[in-house]
A and B are shown apart, each in its own frame.
Chain A
Amino acid sequence: DETAFGEGVEPVDLEVRAHVYSLVTALGGFNGEDADKYVLGDDALACLRDIKRWLRLYDQKNNRMDVARCLGEANVINGDLLPILAVWSENERKSKHLFRIAMACLELLVPLTWPLEIHGETTVNHHRHIPYLQQAQVSYKRRFLSRSSLDLLRTIIRIGLPSMAIPRSERTGRDEGILRIMLYFFRNVAVITPNARLAAEGEEEETSRSATINAFQDQDVFALLLTMCSNISDDFNMFDVIILETLFHIVKGVNVDKLFMDDSQRTAKRTDELDGLLRKEESLRKEYAKGAPTRHGRFGTMIWVKRDDAKVSTVSGQNVLKDGQTTLHKMDQSKKWNKPQPRRRQDHPSIKNDFSTPVHLNSEASENLRKFVEEFLDSGFNPLFTNIRKAIEREADRVLDENSLHYFYTVAWFLEAERTRRFRKRQRRSQDGKPAKETEPDSFGLVASVLNQETFVFLNRSMQWSFDNKDWEGLNAEMRCFTQILLTVQEMALSPLDEDQEIAENTQNRIFYEGTTHDRMAAIMHRYKDQGFGYLDACTELCHVFLRMLERYSKENADMQVKAKRRTRRKNKQAEATGDENNEEDHASEEEDHAEAERVSKERKFDFRKFEQKFCTQACVDTFVSFTKFYGELTEEQLKRAHRYFYRVAFKNEKSVLLFRVDIINLFYRMIKGPGAMDSSQPIFREWEELVRQIIRRLMKKLEQRPALFVELLFSKINSTASYLEYGHERQTVSTA
């Protein structure tokens, strides 16, 4: 195929290729007499080690990927390594030599399947090889998971088992190494996904998430992971991060709710979804049919739109005859010019860690994954996540930057899974007709390890760091985690167990006590700009959940206290006045004093109304408007979230003037009346219709009272005039009564 690239272009140095090829050939091959049997070369072990050396000393050292590419072209994994491993597994640990060879194979499998990413230090060489290698890795994965050949995953576990059996204190460095590369292999298998931008070759289903999960279940990888998780603190301390990564890549993007449905429910849900989609399509078609021409395409209707000053515009096509709205819409649509869009940022984090894309599982995989998740929650959750949190906080060597994202996302996912599991259990019980008292209530102890003070401190610190450093992917994961913690605690407060209630009470107290958390929430909502839909979804959900819980909590606890920063404005002013006269040193020490003074915090009574005001601002409204713009694709729950927020702004807080902007009114109008309106058969549609009606009614009233609003309707409001527009007078000093 080399000529396809153009003659004379060699992607790899010829000499390197010759060396690698000769090593691969010397590994062994299929015998002529018995074509099924793989015969090892005389010096197979040495060859394997040489290949490894090539990878390390040529590729890694020179930051190239030539050897990996040659090995891919020589088909070494499918042609040699897997058959060799099959030879080993048949001869079942008979000889030490064979075990060494199997080990050497595994040592090659891991670097060859290592996740490839285009990052900062890439050279032209990487860009040349990565697409090829990504394709190659997908084909490796297809072979790994295929049921026809040997149970590769199980074979790999068998390589690690002897080292696993040894207690940690007696394990040698080599044993630890074997376990590590075994786990890395499974992680790599979990990570590899077909690159969406490259043409898929062969069945995609064979390398899908479902196939991975099924293989992990069938070949006991899940069992291995469970064993290691539940004994993590004693025996497998060093492997927690690799296990976390594997879990992350298994569960990312999986819909928890669907996972915990049983088959009939899932089928019903699918039917509902299909029904919904069909209905949507139907309504689209209807809408088109409403305006569609009733005669042939060359019928040639043209109409005038009479405008002021005896001007007219012409619009053609008979569909515009219907009403003024369609005519104006068509006038707008036929304009050619588009406002130049700001270029989208290129620094997309890694595709590898993307968890916002939903993943579809088939029913067998759902079943398998659910079984694993339940067992994991029962035995592995607490030990694993405690261990990892400590490792990340301690900044252990094995921890990478991206691991904190993995941690928060995975915690969030499993918390949601636990809540869903409990919900389903309750549902099943009530269906069976058993009174709740008979069965013992479950405690939330299974997930307690992420509901303690240490985790909150860690979470808060991470959120602040991500926010300050514009690590939006990280912040996305942390916000999801925070949302799930809040929801879990909320549910805990309703638990029949006194102990759970008490813990929930304490936890809520701590969450809502910190004034800095409140301020950060507001800041996040104010600073949305172009971070993508996943982020938007996470931040609006967190805002929704946080506001509602805090509202309820502060109602229940009327004398709630909040730790807030003390105001030091007066002191600062004094400092400015005197600061000029002092010399540098004095100044510096004084600044320190002020920093100290600022750090001192005081408690004050919490006033929810005042807090709520922080979210009733133009910036925050804009964030929710950008979210609502996706109304065509939003779920009912998401639409409800936006609805409640706008209701809060306009009617609970009397800040409807923030919504009085032509583009927002336009959006609301289109949502209800189209073109492209929401599906009117949904119950949420009625709620939205009513909300929009109320907002418009209020707008009309205000326009009559204050004609200045006609101009202001074009702009975001200025703080100083907004209250006049809303109330007709300047804002009085806020009363706390």
Chain B
Amino acid sequence: NGSGLGLGLDEEVKIIKKRQPVAKLDETKLLSQAGIPKLRFKAQRKLHFKGKGHEFSDAARLLNFYQLWLDDLFPRAKFADGLAMIEKLGHSKRLRTMRREWIEEERPKTQSAD
């Protein structure tokens, strides 16, 4: 057999399929457009509360808003699980800086000047 010159041409090339990487809920995802920026944008425009006397329906509206936001961001996780994961991410340095910035943005200038 002439073709088998020991070059290994006949041997089958094995292809190892890599697993599809699993989507993760991490800082990058949380800070991406669908994450907190969207939450900040939507919350002030879409959420309106009725106020006194409607505490529980207001709370339901608030909770539903967060649930749907989380479902869009990371559909895999249940609401409670997702919240726990995000809370944990909030301890990271990057997020802490971001959180402080967001608060500073909103504070009136006179207050921060003194």
Contacts and interface: CB of A to CB of B under 8 A. Distances in A.
B94 interface: no
A666 B36 contact: no
B98 to A, nearest CB: 9
Interface string B87-110: 100110001100110110111000
B103 A339 contact: no
Given A666-B79, A666-B83, A711-B99, A697 B52 contact: yes
Contacts of B87: 661, 663, 714-716
B44 A335 contact: no
Given A720-B100, A721-B100, A331 B58 contact: no
Contacts of B46: 308
A700 interface: yes
Nearest to B83: A663
A662 interface: yes
Interface string B34-69: 001001101110100101100110111011101110
B44 A707 contact: yes
Interface in B3-59: 36, 39-40, 42-44, 46, 49, 51-52, 55-56, 58-59
A404 to B, nearest CB: 37
A708 interface: yes
A714 B74 CA distance: 15
A706 B106 contact: yes
A662 B66 CA distance: 8
Per DSSP, chain A at the interface is helix
B63 A712 contact: no
Contact of B60 (A325, A333, A661, A724): A325
Interface string A319-335: 00000110010011101
A692 B55 CA distance: 9
A712 B103 contact: yes
A696 B100 CA distance: 24
Nearest to B90: A715
A422 interface: no
A700 B58 contact: yes
Most interface-central of A311, A665, A711 (chain B CB within 10 A)? A711
A31 to B, nearest CB: 71
Given A665-B59, A673-B60, A328 B67 contact: yes
B85 A662 contact: no
A662 B58 CA distance: 13
Nearest to A327: B64
Contact of B63 (A669, A693, A707, A724): A669
B80 interface: yes
B55 A714 contact: no
B64 A324 contact: yes
A707 B106 contact: yes
Contact of A339 (B51, B64, B85): B85
A651 interface: no
Nearest to A668: B59
A718 B51 CA distance: 27
Interface in A697-714: 697, 699-700, 703-704, 706-708, 710-714
B102 A711 contact: yes
Interface residues of B, number: 47
A570 interface: no
Contacts of B51: 700
A68 interface: no
Contacts of A337: 76-78, 81
A94 interface: no
Per DSSP, chain B at the interface is helix
A153 interface: no
Contact of B55 (A697, A715, A725): A697
Contacts of A715: 86-87, 90, 95, 99
Contacts of A718: 96, 99-100
Interface residues of A, number: 46
Contacts of B90: 714-716
Contacts of B79: 332, 666
B97 to A, nearest CB: 10
A673 B80 contact: no
B55 A721 contact: no
Contacts of A343: none
B106 A328 contact: no
A311 B27 CA distance: 25
A307 interface: yes
Contacts of B106: 706-708
B51 to A, nearest CB: 7
Contact of B81 (A338, A672, A673, A713): A338
A332 B67 CA distance: 8
Contacts of A338: 78, 81
Most interface-central of A339, A699, A706, A713 (chain B CB within 10 A)? A339
A696 B56 contact: yes
A693 B56 contact: yes
B113 to A, nearest CB: 12
A714 B86 contact: yes
B83 A724 contact: no
A729 interface: yes
B62 A335 contact: no
Nearest to A335: B78
Nearest to A728: B111
Most interface-central of B55, B83, B87, B107 (chain A CB within 10 A)? B55
A710 B47 CA distance: 10
A332 B78 contact: yes
B80 A708 contact: no
Nearest to B22: A337
A673 B52 contact: no
Contact of B49 (A313, A700, A712): A700
Contacts of B67: 328, 331-332
Interface in A385-412: none
Contacts of B68: 307-308, 328
Given A328-B64, A663-B83, A724-B103, A710 B43 contact: yes
Interface in A289-336: 307-308, 311, 313, 324-325, 328, 331-333, 335
Contacts of A666: 63, 79-80, 83
A710 B60 contact: no
Contacts of A696: 55-56, 58-59
Interface string A651-680: 000000000011101100100110000000
A339 B86 contact: no
A725 B79 CA distance: 25
A101 B111 CA distance: 92
A665 B59 CA distance: 8
B100 A662 contact: no
Nearest to B50: A700
B55 A708 contact: no
Contacts of A716: 87, 90-91
Contacts of A707: 40, 43-44, 106
B104 to A, nearest CB: 9
A635 B76 CA distance: 36
A725 B71 CA distance: 27
Given A710-B44, A721-B99, A700 B83 contact: no
24 contacts: A308-B68, A308-B72, A333-B78, A335-B75, A335-B77, A339-B78, A665-B59, A666-B63, A673-B60, A697-B52, A707-B40, A707-B43, A707-B44, A708-B106, A710-B39, A710-B40, A710-B43, A711-B36, A711-B39, A711-B40, A711-B99, A711-B102, A713-B66, A724-B107
Given A325-B60, A714-B86, 8 more contacts: A311-B72, A328-B67, A337-B78, A666-B83, A696-B55, A707-B106, A711-B39, A718-B96
Q: 5 closest pairs, A vs B, by CB?
A: A715-B90, A339-B81, A710-B43, A696-B55, A708-B103
